[in-house]
Amino acid sequence: MNYRVLIPALILALPLAACHRGDKPPGAVRLALVADVGGIGDKGRNDMLWRACQRLAEEDPRVAAIDCREPGNLAEGQHLLRDVCARGADAVVVASPAWEPDVMKLAARYPRTKFIVVGGAAFRKNVVAIDFPVRDAGYLMGVAAAAAVPAGGYGFLGGREDAETRALAAGYAEGVRSEIPGAPVAVRYMGKDFAAPLDAALAREIAAELYREGAAVIFAAAGPANADIAAVAHDCDKLVIGYESNQNSLERGFVVTSLNIRWDDLVYEELVSVVEGRFRGRVRKINIASEFIAYPIDVNNRALLPADAIMKIEAARQRLAAAGAA
């Protein structure tokens, strides 16, 4: 069980063990982050959520500490959620919707604690679920793959097989076929277990197999294993698409682009609302046309995504946005 604590210099005297509500200075706010598998350093969702917490702590002296927990499995995450609530966290960022049922129970037991569930779909008065259009986002990456590699073939490699990853894969296949009707899209997952994305060797094995079977580009949605998949793309002289953070620099010249979900900015906004006393529970739906969904183009991938490909992606984004608004 791993955890780390960030404490601003002004209140270094406030220890983790004394983080019950009655022990806090007036107005102080304690944040907690329960990370997804892979923990901090995953180059993806966890790192973005950690940055959001750090940013608020640096900008607002009312943040007393950040209690960051890094579970290795589903049950451990459940225990850590209960623990940070019992210790008096004012706001808890939950990195995986896998714990949403637990959050609903804890939200009733701790009505003064605010919960932010990344990728969630349920809410209470003290729970915000940030729901992004997974299938539509996958569709955009399918268009990107087909536009960047019109000769084919196409693969998808997911880490943990769950509803979110399956929707992402389905959208990706639809996006590819919107540009190349009937194109085969090979879909593989590393496993259904919560910790499946931690198996770097398996990720490399499946990625190499997909490339051998004819994939020229793989959309990798495997959490911490994405770095390993990108390394295989480099070794095989093939291409990959990153997921969640901007992963274009993982293997320069081999990452077409990344489906960049700006969880750092989204969660930062919700945390600010906690500190400022205007937090309200709801399902916050993110539109596909939102600035929080991007596909970065930078020095690492500019040559791989030509102007005509970008035009196709943007046209697809507008079609999806219009369909969602109808």
Residue 6 contacts residue 65 (beta carbons within 8 Å): yes
Using one digit for the tens of pLDDT, what is the confidence trace for 16-28?
A: 333 333 456 667 8
Using one digit for the tens of pLDDT, what is the confidence trace for 156-183?
A: 999 999 999 999 999 999 999 999 999 9
CATH among 3.40.50.11540, 3.40.50.2300, 3.40.50.10860, 3.40.50.300 for 2-131+263-285? 3.40.50.2300
CATH topology identical between 2-131+263-285 and 134-260+296-325: yes
- Residue 175: alpha-carbon gap to chain centroid: 21
Q: Which two tokens stand for residue 257?
A: 């682009």
Identify the segments of the chain with pLDDT beneath 50: 7-22
Distance CA 223, CA 324 (A): 28
Distance CA 207, CA 222 (A): 11
pLDDT confidence of residue 11: 33
pLDDT confidence of residue 27: 75
Model pTM score: 0.90
pLDDT confidence of residue 279: 97
Distance CA 272, CA 60 (A): 9
Q: Which two tokens stand for residue 215?
A: 């994939």
* Rounded (5°) CA angle 121-123-124: 170
Give the fold, CATH level 3, of 134-260+296-325.
Rossmann fold (3.40.50)
pLDDT confidence of residue 323: 87
Q: Which long-range contacts link 300-304 to residues 24+ away (Cβ below 8 Å)?
A: 300/248, 300/249, 300/252, 300/253, 300/255, 301/248, 301/253, 301/255, 301/256, 301/257, 303/253, 304/148, 304/239, 304/253, 304/255, 304/256, 304/257
Q: Domain-by-domain residue ranges, the chain?
A: 2-131+263-285, 134-260+296-325
